[in-house]
Chains A and B, each alone.
Chain A
């Protein structure tokens, strides 16, 4: 028996909005520690890892580890029917091939039940070791989204270079070139507006902007985004989910032929 009750149902709504266009079908894994997902896009260039820890749920019952295959587009359609202030409960009986989403209005005067068929998805998980990164960038998530959006109107790849001066996002295309430099700025009145660069050593990597733009759909989840870079390995773009966990997007770099 599985029954997960999330008072801040809007978090789950936002999570689905941020991954439904990147990944079509995925397994949600439920265990005593929490509700998680790891899935790659169809080209295996990007990977999303979600964790919602069990403590973040008002009620978390998971009798045994269970993996539920879902079509994320259909799941998003059902979650769109939940109000932003609704409590969302996810229920599944053992051995059942459906999952039920229950939406309760804050005043408990409206309760909705949506039942969705589960899918069989055989997906192995990639082992992603915790790594020391050469550069870690923490910046306002809206700022990062704006940069990716602006640069993608000029070119389709971005070179992200981190030096002690700051971080530079560069692109070039048919109409010309664009460079955006963000300097470390911790003298702000609100911490979430700071741009922090931890850079043990300089790094420069090239990525496809369309994936980064897809990742920034998670912007509503967090005021800040953490971007971890190391030469020669995928970048990690992480949005914390309010004391519950995180959503991490990994993107493989492009290299010189």
Chain B
């Protein structure tokens, strides 16, 4: 299976 990443793992709140 492949793990679904989230946007928060790439970009942080500004």
Distance between A94 CB and nearest chain B CB, rounded to angstroms? 26
Q: Is the CB of B12 within 8 A of A45?
A: no
Q: With the chains together, A254 CA to B3 CA distance in Å?
A: 5
Question: Which of B3, B6, B11 is close to A127, meaning CB atoms less than 8 Å apart?
Answer: B11
Counting contact residues on chain B (CB < 8 A from A), the size range is 10 to 19
Q: Is the CB of A206 within 8 A of B14?
A: no
Q: Is the CB of A40 within 8 A of B2?
A: no
Q: Which residues of A contact B2 (CB under 8 A)?
A: 157, 206, 254-257
Question: Which of B4, B12, B13, B14 is close to A252, meaning CB atoms less than 8 Å apart?
Answer: B4
Report how many residues on chain A are interfacial, defined by Cβ distance under 8 Å. Answer: 24
Q: Which residues of A contact B8 (CB under 8 A)?
A: 44, 126
Q: Could you say which of B4, B10, B14 has the most chain A C-beta atoms within 10 Å of its C-beta?
A: B4
Q: Is the CB of B14 within 8 A of A127?
A: yes
- CB contact under 8 A between A45 and B14, given known A256-B2, A257-B2: no
Distance between A65 CB and nearest chain B CB, rounded to angstroms? 16
Distance between A161 CB and nearest chain B CB, rounded to angstroms? 15
Q: Is the CB of B9 within 8 A of A252?
A: yes
Distance between A216 CB and nearest chain B CB, rounded to angstroms? 19
Q: Is the CB of A124 within 8 A of B4?
A: no
A180 in the interface, Cβ–Cβ < 8 Å? no
Distance between B8 CB and nearest chain A CB, rounded to angstroms? 5
Q: Which residues of A contact B9 (CB under 8 A)?
A: 252
Distance between B7 CB and nearest chain A CB, rounded to angstroms? 5
Can you offer 15 A-B residue contacts whose CB atoms are under 8 A?
A47-B7, A124-B13, A126-B7, A126-B14, A127-B14, A129-B11, A157-B2, A252-B4, A252-B6, A254-B3, A254-B4, A255-B2, A257-B1, A257-B2, A257-B3
Given contacts A126-B14, A127-B12, A157-B2, 9 further A-B contacts (CB under 8 A): A40-B7, A44-B6, A45-B6, A125-B13, A208-B4, A252-B10, A253-B5, A255-B5, A257-B2
